[in-house]
Structure 1
Amino acid sequence: MTPTLTFHGAAGCVTGFCARLVTEHATVLIDCGMFQGSKTLKALNYQPFPFDVGKVDAVLLTHAHIDHSGLLPKLMLAGFEGPIYATAATRDLAAVMLVDAGGIQENEVESLNRRNQRRGIPPVEPIYTAEDGKAVAAQFRKAKLGEPVAIAEGITATWHPAGHMLGSASIAVEVGAPGQTKTLLFSGDLGPGGSPFMDDPDAPAGVDHLIIESTYGDRERTGFDSASRRQQLAEEVRAAHEAGGPLLIPAFAVERSQELLVDLLELMDAGEVPKADVFLDSPLAIEATKVFQARGWRPGLQSNPFEALRPSNHLRFLSSPAESDGLDRLDGWHIILAASGMCDAGRVRKHLKRLLWRKEATVLLCGYQATGTLGRLLAEGAPRVSIRGDEVRVRARIRQLDAYSGHADASGLVRWAKARTPVAGSVFIAHGEPDAAQGLKRRLAEAGFAEDRLLVPALDETFLVGEGPATLADQAPPRLPPRAAGSLDWHNQRAAFQLALGEALKAAPDDADRERMLHVLQAALEAYRG
């Protein structure tokens, strides 16, 4: 049979990557990520997998970020008992990240069920628990960079450095009998290169099919080399200090938090920014930092740049909720790093609720913000937001610093793809919002790739990946309408409408005008109902 490749995540959006490769003898998943973004998109995490879990022989994991690994415990609970192959650093990071993800779900579901009980709505269950996140660790198997691993009959995989985060990799999957193999190269998330913290992205040239991410497929970034981004960070820190309030950095707990802390401490030691008490308010980031200290040795530097990240007079690690709550009593200049980076979960939400209305405070966004997330709303200048059901006015300074994103920009993606040529078959452009994916498709065509072999898969779309260009296979019904994965949903629209209605009611000249406004809206609702 001709192998098939189905995109069950990060198709039309940047989260939830999961590709299912089916051959004559085996079925493997490349990543099994959790969806993040709009409530409609996140609802997919609770639905059954759109494939027979019992037929999955193995999982090949590119890296530990939750949008690539976050549904592995759910896969285990659904009956998957096979191996999960990953680099040693990815294995160690996933061991703490999946436990943390399960704990967050338990806490959020507990809070949601209290609200649902008051509303008369049946309770819900978490996707998985912290114990489930711990249990799935037993299924991990180590893969070394550059060393082929026999995955199943007729399938061999080799991991290559991707430069995105500690342990991240691109995976070359060889399918078929010896002498008749076809190679599918999965980029994973690609870093921009030039980082002192990890190797530059690399992978073999001359593949049959290429699957490439497109997070920044329509954007060029400047100043992401080590010196430039440290200078940009210094400018933002100095400006936040001059504003007179605290600096809150919603930071991805793994990689971004550690890199930011290294640079912040070095800038303070050099006298380039005002000294401050720095609080790492993320249990996951604290645990992940231990992995960086164990796995972060850089042969080229003959040192581990993360070795200095230990509690001190100026760097505080806040593990317990009580320690985190103590930040509420702080005034004046200090710096807080708290997860999650897209502001959709974790302790950062309570800090945003406390600080967003204060004009002297600064919020510095340092990573990609997906459509439908609170971080994206703040980045786009929302004057008011809803956090945990409460309306919060945005008066704080909202700043962005793309230099710390772990993704290559459009030019970097094109360079990486060209270095993998010749590509005998097709190039699949995934892991990007629609404009980003189409932007990368246009750039790859301009770089010499045949446009009819550049494919942007939709969610749950299946392709035949044999000799020559890929072709569409028989399709199962999609779980979402076209373009829904990368768009704002009705939940976002309702929240925006409620905020706008509140503003309009406040701005009305008198109660009579407010009553007229509500009467018009009520009439429109009744007319809609028929």
Structure 2
Amino acid sequence: MKITFLGAAKEVTGSCYLVETEKSKFLIDCGMFQGSEIEDEYNYQEFAFDIADIDFMLLTHAHIDHSGRIPLLFKRGYRKKIYATKGTVDLCEYMLQDSGHIQQIENEWKNRKRKRAGKTLRMPLYTADDGKAAMQLFCGVNYDEIIEPSEDVKVKFNDAGHMLGSSILEIWVKEGGKETKVVFSGDLGNKNIPILRDPTIIDEADYLVCESTYGDRLHEDVGDKAKKLMEIIKKTISRGGNVIIPSFAVGRTQELLYEIHKDEELYKNEIEYISKVPVYVDSPLATSVTDVFRKHLDYFDDEARSYVENGDYPLDFPNLHFTHSTEESKALNDLKEPVIIISASGMCEAGRIKHHLKHNLWRSDSTIVFVGYQAKGTLGRRILEGEKTVNIFGEEITVNAEIQNIESFSGHADQKGIMDWISSFKKKPKKVFIVHGEDSAQKVLSEKIKDVFNIETVIPSKYDTYDFESDEVNVTEIPLPSDDEILRQIEELRTENDKILSRLKDIISQNRGKVKEVGSDLAAMSDVLSRLKRRFS
């Protein structure tokens, strides 16, 4: 058996793994790369496998960094089955079409720029119709159900507690008269997340492929996050500003609605104040997804289910409004009274959130509240790291708004959550592959796992293949791009470095002495140069 790491290897997005056994070849996830223009370009590359050789696919959950290239896979000829939980299938019905629509809109905008620059126009990565057509391949399964997608492979989907329908995969492979068990954590959720159940405890594994998004840090006290959110809202509204929350349409949006609405004595004053403030969910996708939540109440935890049983649906309340049309979305920026706007995308890279940031970042009375992970290179990450001006739709916007970050709203377990989950294995894996994380998070988590559990760890690079028989990681030779491609990507790297240098100049000119911020930017610049060296040396 072999595993090739095709994405989310020393990076957070683009999850995709190729598993090869004596008799089968299958994929686990086929996600989109997200972040800078360089990451976006990865999405257009040819798949690093022959599509005709793939026997089936397993999907851990519906988030686009795990599912977003499935329509492209379909577009290029894949016609085999895709297995996922029934909740994931229902979410993908909306999310893949929405992703295709975003691809079309973004491509039209980029083509206008290409045309003005005299460059060749490009077709979108895929369309909404491709997203819809790909759904014919999906097969819904239940949690705890064991399926046999091929004669030598058995699979069990367990609740990962990350989002509705998210899964931890237990995979058993029979080869040469013996059985090997590999567990894929998928995106591992926090404990005590509203609505969702805690991640399933796994008894044993021979090998573990584990995410590491927050492997180097701890979230703030989860019990305080609701109060902190409400205090931020109350303070911002009282000074006449808007609260803008970039949020993934699936998962965080529903959790935020739950927290804003639920009637707890502890937050009585805050809830009473907030109940008079209009809350707008500016995402057609979030509207549809909230309906999917209604369909899968069996996925809810005991607390959320008890609300429903008592006739109180926690994802709906009197001052909540969903916007559907583009006109309704634009009208939100003309409102005179303070409002709360929850809008996708969560990393501020596409969708309606960019318009709301354009209209609110310059306002000192408004607050931008980040509640999810911000990948390197994204607009959200740059705002969170303190850039004083950002470019949105070709216009330089000054960042005057208050910037807040509540990490404990993230759907990802922190270091303690990951370690606690691994510690619950009665039979520990002999090797842990650490994926889905930035360098620092992976290295810190790797050392922690080795120190605490005495388990060997591997941090694979993209395209590395682990051979179970030889117990070796083989580095795949990657063909060099064309000269034109090298020049184009160098230009993109130059632009990325210019942004970093501009930020450094801004910090120094204002003589603020923020050594930590300068160090962060120098590290980012070093990362860009390292990528340039790796790609073209």
TM tier relative to shorter chain: 0.7 to 0.9
In structure 2, the partner of 1:282 is 283
User: Residues of 2 paired with 1:425 and 1:500: CA distance?
Assistant: 45
User: Residues of 1 paired with 2:132 and 2:420: CA distance?
Assistant: 39
State the SS of the aligned residue for 1:176.
strand
Q: Deviations over 1:57-85 (max 9, x none)?
A: 11101110000000011111111111100
Matches within 5 A, 1:6-405: 6-177=4-175, 180-225=178-223, 228-266=224-262, 270-273=268-271, 274=273, 275-297=276-298, 298=300, 300-301=302-303, 302-303=305-306, 307-310=313-316, 313-405=318-410
Q: Is 1:422 the counterpart of 2:427 in the alignment?
A: yes
User: Residues of 2 paired with 1:440 and 1:504: CA distance?
Assistant: 34
Shift of 1:434: 0.5
In structure 2, the partner of 1:457 is 460
Shift of 1:300: 2.7
Query: Which consecutive residues of structure 1, in runs of 5 or more, have no partner in the other structure?
Result: 481-487, 507-530
**Structure 2 letter corresponding to 1:473:** N
Q: Deviations over 1:192-214 (max 9, x none)?
A: 11234122112432211100000
- TM-score w.r.t. structure 1 length? 0.88
Q: Work out whether residues 96 and 128 of structure 2, in 8 Å CA contact, stay in contact via their aligned partners in 1.
A: yes
In structure 1, the partner of 2:518 is none
User: Residues of 2 paired with 1:11 and 1:57: CA distance?
Assistant: 23
User: Residues of 2 paired with 1:130 and 1:270: CA distance?
Assistant: 43
State the SS of the aligned residue for 2:181.
strand
Shift of 1:267: 6.3
State the SS of the aligned residue for 2:193.
coil
Which of 450, 464, 487 is 1:445 aligned to?
Answer: 450
Shift of 1:98: 0.4
User: Residues of 1 paired with 2:50 and 2:132: CA distance?
Assistant: 24
User: Residues of 1 paired with 2:398 and 2:126: CA distance?
Assistant: 34
Which of 489, 493, 498 is 1:494 aligned to?
Answer: 498
State the SS of the aligned residue for 2:172.
strand
User: Residues of 2 paired with 1:503 and 1:425: CA distance?
Assistant: 47
**Structure 2 letter corresponding to 1:253:** A
User: Residues of 1 paired with 2:376 and 2:65: CA distance?
Assistant: 14
State the SS of the aligned residue for 1:102.
helix
Q: Deviations over 1:20-60 (max 9, x none)?
A: 00011111111111011121112100111111111111110
**Structure 1 letter corresponding to 2:81:** P
Q: Would the alpha carbon gap of residues 146 and 479 (structure 1) be closer, same or farther in structure 2, given more than 3 Å must change?
A: farther
Q: Is 1:411 the counterpart of 2:416 in the alignment?
A: yes
Q: Would the alpha carbon gap of residues 233 and 148 (structure 1) be closer, same or farther in structure 2, given more than 3 Å must change?
A: same
User: Residues of 2 paired with 1:479 and 1:455: CA distance?
Assistant: 26
User: Residues of 1 paired with 2:92 and 2:147: CA distance?
Assistant: 20
User: Residues of 2 paired with 1:399 and 1:196: CA distance?
Assistant: 21
User: Residues of 2 paired with 1:204 and 1:360: CA distance?
Assistant: 47
Shift of 1:313: 4.9
User: Residues of 2 paired with 1:433 and 1:461: CA distance?
Assistant: 17
Shift of 1:121: 1.4
Q: Deviations over 1:286-319 (max 9, x none)?
A: 1111101111343734446683434x65211101
**Structure 2 letter corresponding to 1:23:** T
User: Residues of 2 paired with 1:193 and 1:479: CA distance?
Assistant: 44
State the SS of the aligned residue for 1:128.
coil
Q: Work out whether residues 173 and 181 of structure 2, in 8 Å CA contact, stay in contact via their aligned partners in 1.
A: yes
**Structure 2 letter corresponding to 1:49:** F
State the SS of the aligned residue for 2:133.
helix
Q: Would the alpha carbon gap of residues 340 and 474 (structure 1) be closer, same or farther in structure 2, given more than 3 Å must change?
A: closer
User: Residues of 2 paired with 1:264 and 1:193: CA distance?
Assistant: 19
Q: How many residue pairs are counted as aligned between the two chains?
A: 491
Shift of 1:421: 4.9
Q: Would the alpha carbon gap of residues 143 and 178 (structure 1) be closer, same or farther in structure 2, given more than 3 Å must change?
A: farther
User: Residues of 1 paired with 2:372 and 2:251: CA distance?
Assistant: 11
Shift of 1:449: 2.3
Q: Which range moved further: 62-71 or 173-182? A: 173-182
User: Residues of 2 paired with 1:270 and 1:185: CA distance?
Assistant: 43
Q: Work out whether residues 173 and 185 of structure 1, in 8 Å CA contact, stay in contact via their aligned partners in 2.
A: yes
Q: Would the alpha carbon gap of residues 501 and 408 (structure 1) be closer, same or farther in structure 2, given more than 3 Å must change?
A: closer
Q: Deviations over 1:197-247 (max 9, x none)?
A: 12211243221110000000000113224xx22112112212222332111
User: Residues of 2 paired with 1:124 and 1:427: CA distance?
Assistant: 41
User: Residues of 1 paired with 2:505 and 2:113: CA distance?
Assistant: 23
**Structure 2 letter corresponding to 1:392:** I
User: Residues of 2 paired with 1:277 and 1:36: CA distance?
Assistant: 31
Q: Work out whether residues 62 and 168 of structure 1, in 8 Å CA contact, stay in contact via their aligned partners in 2.
A: yes
**Structure 2 letter corresponding to 1:387:** I
Q: Work out whether residues 100 and 129 of structure 2, in 8 Å CA contact, stay in contact via their aligned partners in 1.
A: yes
- TM-score w.r.t. structure 2 length? 0.87
User: Residues of 2 paired with 1:478 and 1:457: CA distance?
Assistant: 19
Matched-pair identity in %: 38
Shift of 1:177: 4.8
Q: Work out whether residues 279 and 320 of structure 2, in 8 Å CA contact, stay in contact via their aligned partners in 1.
A: yes
CA RMSD of aligned residues (A): 2.5
Query: Which consecutive residues of structure 2, in runs of 5 or more, have no partner in the other structure?
Result: 482-491, 511-537
User: Residues of 2 paired with 1:330 and 1:474: CA distance?
Assistant: 56
Q: Deviations over 1:380-438 (max 9, x none)?
A: 11111111222111001111111210111101111111222534532100000000000
Q: Work out whether residues 170 and 203 of structure 1, in 8 Å CA contact, stay in contact via their aligned partners in 2.
A: no
Q: Would the alpha carbon gap of residues 235 and 476 (structure 1) be closer, same or farther in structure 2, given more than 3 Å must change?
A: same
User: Residues of 2 paired with 1:88 and 1:369: CA distance?
Assistant: 28
Shift of 1:474: 5.6
Q: Work out whether residues 390 and 398 of structure 2, in 8 Å CA contact, stay in contact via their aligned partners in 1.
A: yes
State the SS of the aligned residue for 1:411.
helix
Shift of 1:496: 4.1
